[in-house]
Homo-oligomer: A and B are copies of this chain.
Amino acid sequence: MSKDPLVIFTPSGKRGRFPVGTPVLTAARQLGVDLDSVCGGRGICSKCQITPSYGEFPKHGVTVASDALSEWNAVEQRYDDKRGLKPGRRLGCQATIQKDVVIDVPPESQVHKQVVRKRAEARDIVMNPAIRLFYVEVQEPDMHDPSGDLERLVGALAKQWDIKDVKADLHILAQLQTILRKGNWSVTVALHMGDGDAAPRIMHLWPGLYEGSIYGLAVDLGSTTIAAHLCDLRSGEVIGSSGLMNPQIRFGEDLMSRVSYSMMNDNGAAEMTAAVRDGMNTLFAQIADEAGIDTGLIMDAVFVMNPVMHHLFLGIDPYELGQAPFALATSDALHLRASDLDLTLHPAARSYILPCIAGHVGADAAAVTLSEAPDKSEDLVLIVDVGTNAEIQLGNRDKVLACSSPTGPAFEGAQISSGQRAAPGAIERVEIDPATKEPRFRVIGCDLWSDEDGFAAAIATTGITGICGSGIIEAIAEMRMAGLLDASGLIGSAAQTGSPRCIADGRTHSYVLWQGSEDSPQITITNPDIRAIQMAKAALYSGARLLMDKLGTDTVDRIVLAGAFGAHISPKHAMVLGMIPDCPLDKVTSAGNAAGTGARIALLNTDARAEIEETVRRIVKIETAVEPRFQEHFVNASALPNSAEPFPILRSVVDLPDVSFNTGGDEGDAGGRRRRRRRG
């Protein structure tokens, strides 16, 4: 008696023997092979496409004959005629096993397919969305055994898909009878698979087989900008991305001014809540329109944001976040209806808000954790997300620490004499020749450096309007390396530096980066500008140092710069300023909008939601405001690197001239003095 045929699935390697005539889909299900199907094997959805391989497979010990699967059948022919099947493809629910066979499941036929992210170092996203489509055939009502239409639909989901205890909202009950009869007792169900405390729940019904897709949003709600990605919940593809200024800006540029607005105005928090929700709806309508889909097909949305935005979006007065002990109303992840947030998506659409880590470390930081996974890192990684507050995480698979440090708005171009937001016209890159002390720069919106031919013409439309955060960092670092600036943060005079660009400016000096033109203002780096950046970088560095102290380490293996700003910072320049700890430059990488990526991961994979909730619970939260060491580090960190000890790696790469422009007058600063004492 011969054995049943052997079936081997690739890439999983799962194998088993099945009786002749078993459909490939049935074999896949029994082996737990990840093979998609919406129609449950009825030959109508075509999601279960597979590719049989023929010939010798010495590795698997089988030879596959050309008649290993049943013959191409009428159902497959009809599908091929109508839609086209790729060469070699079969429908897994139609092709039956006849002899030993090796069957490949192509990525697009896998439910839990991976969506490859662009950057190689990042993890792929495994598809496991909260909402999925299921086609079912429902028993007709029987007077001899009376039961509700819903109960028979729920029974069909249990029997045909092994999904138990499915619930439905009233809006589904109101449509159910008509749709079931219209579809002649077959229906496609958009099913929320359940989360938090909730059972699986029917979100939408289509009569018969619905061949379209359903969508979700990953939203990064920043204080300044709301950025959203529209994703296909079946393929995982991003089908549209768009952004909008946060309409709350009219109530205050930064977070603290919005908290103040809520404290000063009776209905202030509610006004800001309405504004941001309105803004969301505008953005979502626009992104859906651009992608050519109906907002009614958007059934899920994931949100990340800082704690103040978190509270304002949820309709919670942020008052308590403005004062010690900075108590959040809630820190856990939230599973809500989108309608609870006044969002006009599908009427039953859900929303998921990532957990906040602490009163100053929000759901956006949790999303960075999810994206960059310090808790899975073998080596010790420092992750810095720079904004008005810097959220800092340090750790590896053993332990992750997190804190927030009040960097203030200098890195965003505020409090800088010629500063501005990163926008066309802003200087974003700077180089200063160490010999001539002459600068060259680049402006946002123009590909040419300022000393290249055609620059003047190229910037005619934008002009040169100011200098943005990355520009000021590079300018100051270049000045330091060119010997125009000493470690205490003082700019030398023309006489001291030999550069006529160092001009007297009150009791200190300024460096003329751009002399101005008919259309453009003069752009200088002043000593107060440098002081502002010193304060900001000291806050950032002190936060990182504090976490390193807590972990008992003096070095980190690598540094990840997250956020839009992080993507534009030059690691070398940041290190010359002492913004970040000493680290090999090739170990300093940018993660881009890691918070947005984290939101997208949570949208497409509900396992990742459970994972980040658990990870956040384990993160050790450090509140800088109550740590005496933070103040101590802060005082020490305002000077720029000079002494080799704290920055030996940096010293080995760049030249930091040992100049001093302090004339013993009143321009010294605490850090400078302290450092001089330490050197003395």
A residues whose Cβ falls under 8 Å from a Cβ of B: 140-151, 165, 167-170, 173-174, 176-178, 194, 196-199, 314-317, 319-320, 324-332, 336, 340-341, 356, 358-359, 621, 623, 625-626
Contact = CB atoms under 8 A, between A and B. Distances in A.
Secondary structure call for the A interface: loop
A356 B150 CA distance: 13
A355 to B, nearest CB: 9
Contacts of A331: 146-148, 150-151
B330 A144 contact: no
A332 B151 contact: yes
Given A165-B197, A329-B173, A329-B176, A623 B317 contact: no
A375 to B, nearest CB: 18
7 contacts: A141-B327, A144-B626, A147-B331, A150-B329, A177-B316, A178-B317, A198-B198
A25 B596 CA distance: 53
B626 A150 contact: no
Contact of A330 (B150, B330, B621): B150
Contact of A174 (B140, B173, B315, B328): B315
Contacts of A317: 174, 177-178
Given A331-B148, A332-B150, A315 B197 contact: no
Given A141-B327, A165-B197, 16 more contacts: A143-B325, A143-B626, A144-B623, A146-B327, A147-B328, A148-B332, A148-B356, A149-B327, A149-B330, A150-B331, A168-B330, A173-B314, A173-B329, A174-B314, A174-B317, A194-B197
Contacts of A173: 314-316, 329-330
A315 to B, nearest CB: 5
A197 B140 CA distance: 27
B170 A336 contact: yes
Contact of A329 (B148, B197, B314): B148
Contacts of A178: 317
Nearest to A166: B197
A196 B324 CA distance: 40
Contact of A197 (B146, B148, B167): B167
A128 to B, nearest CB: 20
A170 B315 contact: yes
A230 B150 CA distance: 31
B147 A329 contact: no
A144 B621 CA distance: 8
Contacts of A145: 621
Contacts of A320: 149, 177
Nearest to A176: B329
Given A173-B316, A315-B174, A146 B196 contact: no
Contact of A149 (B176, B196, B329, B340): B329
A348 B317 CA distance: 20
Contacts of A623: 143-144, 146
A137 to B, nearest CB: 16
A665 B341 CA distance: 76
A623 to B, nearest CB: 4
A170 B176 CA distance: 29
A143 B319 contact: no
Q: What 3 pairs across the A-B complex have the smallest Cβ distances?
A: A197-B199, A148-B331, A141-B327
A363 to B, nearest CB: 12
A617 to B, nearest CB: 10
A445 to B, nearest CB: 42
A155 to B, nearest CB: 11
Looking at A144, A146, A150, A169, the one whose CB has the most chain B CB atoms below 10 A away is A146
A326 B621 contact: no
A405 to B, nearest CB: 15
A428 to B, nearest CB: 36
Contact of A324 (B143, B319, B358): B143
A169 B314 CA distance: 11
A508 to B, nearest CB: 38
A325 B621 contact: no
A32 B157 CA distance: 41
Contacts of A341: 170
Contacts of A340: 169-170
A178 B316 CA distance: 10
A648 to B, nearest CB: 34
Contacts of A625: 143
Nearest to A624: B143
A319 B177 contact: yes
Contacts of A194: 197
Contacts of A141: 325-327
A643 to B, nearest CB: 33
A383 to B, nearest CB: 19
A196 to B, nearest CB: 7
Nearest to A269: B174
